[in-house]
Amino acid sequence: MKTTEGLEENCALPAYTEEVSVSPFASLVGIKIDRLAKNYCRLSLLLDEKCSNYYGGVHGGVLATLADNCMGIALRGAGLQPITVELTVNYLSQPNIDDVLIAEGLIVHQGNSIVLAECAIKTLDLKIVARGKGVFLNRKIEVNS
């Protein structure tokens, strides 16, 4: 079985990472933050049986969840409060149960309210299994004084 051991090398997390975490749903699936910088995020996920579809392969929704979280956390690392408006995932190859997936997401354009991001999901041997693109709304929270 593959593990995420060794991924910690060269992946120092800045102090504000403690303020940014995966959603409860992503945590349930097993998604972990490996690296976070302004405009960039790297997540990992060990695929196990709970990630499988009816046929025993990896459920596409797991990859979509990984892509959405990776891009959204990259935006949060830039100090934004994103809401997904559109998510596109291209499934390029089938990963296996027990594979470790690495997702890398980054902001490619930031406007006043709309932000575009991209994500690549790979296995540890660098085989690309999916690519994602997302359109996000930067939610602005108003504080009542």
Model-level pTM?
Answer: 0.83
* E runs forming strands in the chain: 32-37, 40-46, 82-91, 100-110, 114-123, 128-138
Give the model's pLDDT for residue 115. 97
Q: Using an 8 Å Cβ cutoff, are 93 and 127 in contact?
A: yes
- pLDDT per residue as tens digits for the range 55-81: 999 999 999 999 999 999 999 999 999
| SS3 label, residue 112 | coil
And the tokens for 80?
């934004």
| Averages of pLDDT over each 10 residues, the chain, 145 residues | 40 49 83 94 95 92 97 94 97 96 98 96 98 94 51
Sorted by where each starts, the structural domains of the chain and their CATH numbers stand as 15-138 (3.10.129.10)
